[in-house]
Structure 1
């Protein structure tokens, strides 16, 4: 029996004892009043009955009730843990532990102003084909950790699927967004991914961007960011593509 179970049993015992003593007192008091009204005195038989009945009944009944109450409380606690775990699984990516696409979209629904940074791992298929999917998963986890360290606490970070990630920086200026994208790029470059015999395989990401001033619709922002991401891919990868600041002002 664990210390927690022993402590719980002691609590039940003390509750049962308290209930028994109170029941005994109440039984004697009621018996005293009734016998004095009927007979003018309290005979020994009445005292014995008034003592034995609550002692036999109150303690065991209280013990049973408290035991079931404790079990019900423990069961509810376990159900709450399961509920919390299911909610976490529903809102987070299984492999990396960060937000998934659904919760990411829900998270930015009430944030009209911000910057969407679309991130795609460069040559990820080559990693899977060369080292295997298990190594690819390791790379994704390491990349996730690197990006997590680069973003701000207020930023939303999610895995949209496969090797695609996204960051939503709320109320970030144009320069702050560019600095954030550069931190992300350099953080991924610095990852020590050692998939085979301790030999380092350099990792990199291509980054596209879309601003809330260009569109308030999530799908439209994704399309804009992806277009710039493809531009980054076509121009050598391992880079971030942003619109000209003057173009943003014209859109706004």
Structure 2
């Protein structure tokens, strides 16, 4: 199941992005050169990609999974510890908001130029596994 989640997360990233395991079931992604709108879009693709469709277990049973995402933009001269602390705070805010959420710490929602009528960011289709 964890490998399946990782595959879905990698499929949501751009070729230049890096996904790494921080420990347990916690992962971090670096999105070099991404602007705030791209960060929000990619974070939402990660969340949506893990949630759908349910994972099929070897015995044929379906298992639903969700992820909470905390995203931040690195500040000038910010060290890795401070950046991870802010990302962790955003992650826990997403979990506190009911899980299966994306919280963008320090990212202006106005950065999302394309919005759907609901106000949610307009997302490109989630790529199938192996399409990136």
Sort the TM-score into its range (normalised by shorter chain): 0.7 to 0.9
TM-score, with length taken from structure 2:
0.75
Partner of 2:78: 216
Partner of 1:207: 69
Q: Whose helix fraction is larger, Structure 1's or Structure 2's?
A: 1
Contact 1:205 1:239 (8 Å CA) reproduced: yes
Partner of 1:187: 49
Give, in angstroms, the shift of residue 201 of structure 1: 1.1
Secondary structure in 1 matching 2:93 = helix
RMSD: 1.9
Partner of 1:151: 13
The runs of 4+ residues in structure 1 deviating greater than 3 Å are 244-247
Q: Which runs of 5+ in 2 are unaligned?
A: 110-132
Give, in angstroms, the shift of residue 227 of structure 1: 0.5
CA distance in 1, matches of 2:28, 2:45: 14
Question: Looking at CA atoms only, which structure, 1 or 2, has the larger radius of gyration?
Answer: 1
Q: Which runs of 5+ in 1 are unaligned?
A: 1-138, 248-252
1:177 aligns with 2:39: yes
Greater RCO, CA 8 A, separation 6+: 2
Partner of 1:117: none
CA distance in 2, matches of 1:156, 1:213: 19
Q: Whose strand fraction is larger, Structure 1's or Structure 2's?
A: 2
Give, in angstroms, the shift of residue 190 of structure 1: 1.7
Give, in angstroms, the shift of residue 213 of structure 1: 1.8
Give, in angstroms, the shift of residue 191 of structure 1: 4.5
TM-score, with length taken from structure 1:
0.41
Deviations 1:152-196 (A, max 9, x none): 110111111110111000111110000000111111012442337
Partner of 1:250: none
How many residue pairs get aligned? The number is: 109
Partner of 2:23: 161
